[in-house]
Homo-oligomer: A and B are copies of this chain.
């Protein structure tokens, strides 16, 4: 295994171990020592990647971001929907992504910059909405800042409720319902019918995403980040 690939693997092992311990003991009570034991790595390896427990937590929070960016869509609002559908797939299949979202919502984790994590997500959605507005996709009254916050807040809650009620088994349906209620309030009617907001889209996007991840793993030279 190439050195870079090994480093990526170690980093991921540390984050997965940390995510598990944070979930079990809470962020506040977790020590670096416990993360080391769980990850099965040396102190040196951990401090090569992270300077402190808080940096590990920030790494966990970052894990909800996409490893591979979505290819640009003809309609920007479809890109927003696709981000949600892909996050749905990752929440269902990647424990680290679940831990990341859990840590962002954990009100007991007072030492972690949860504000920054939420703000980064809101900024990302704002960026998509601003581009969408520039292309004339949005209804004239839409306030991008308010809409971005609503969208991030509502998605957080919908996935938390789905987790509580059924371990996120119905999440694809819940996210589809969210998008179908949300889009008519922001999207021009002419475009609305061109959007694919059906839950079947989750499987389709997931297949493309996993294939791209695999391709990058087999061609490490293409991997950036």
Residues of A within 8 A of B (CB): 23, 26, 102, 104-108, 114-115, 118-119, 146-147, 149-150, 152-165, 173-174, 177-178, 180-182, 184-186
* Assembled-state Cα–Cα distance A170/B146 (Å): 11
* Assembled-state Cα–Cα distance A26/B150 (Å): 29
Q: A157-B157, A184-B184 are in contact. List 14 more A-B contacts (CB 8 A).
A: A26-B26, A104-B164, A105-B105, A105-B107, A105-B160, A115-B165, A118-B161, A149-B177, A152-B161, A153-B158, A153-B159, A155-B157, A156-B161, A180-B185
* Assembled-state Cα–Cα distance A157/B118 (Å): 12
* Assembled-state Cα–Cα distance A180/B159 (Å): 21
* Assembled-state Cα–Cα distance A156/B156 (Å): 8
10 contacts between A and B (CB under 8 A): A105-B107, A146-B177, A149-B161, A149-B174, A152-B161, A153-B154, A153-B178, A160-B160, A181-B186, A184-B184
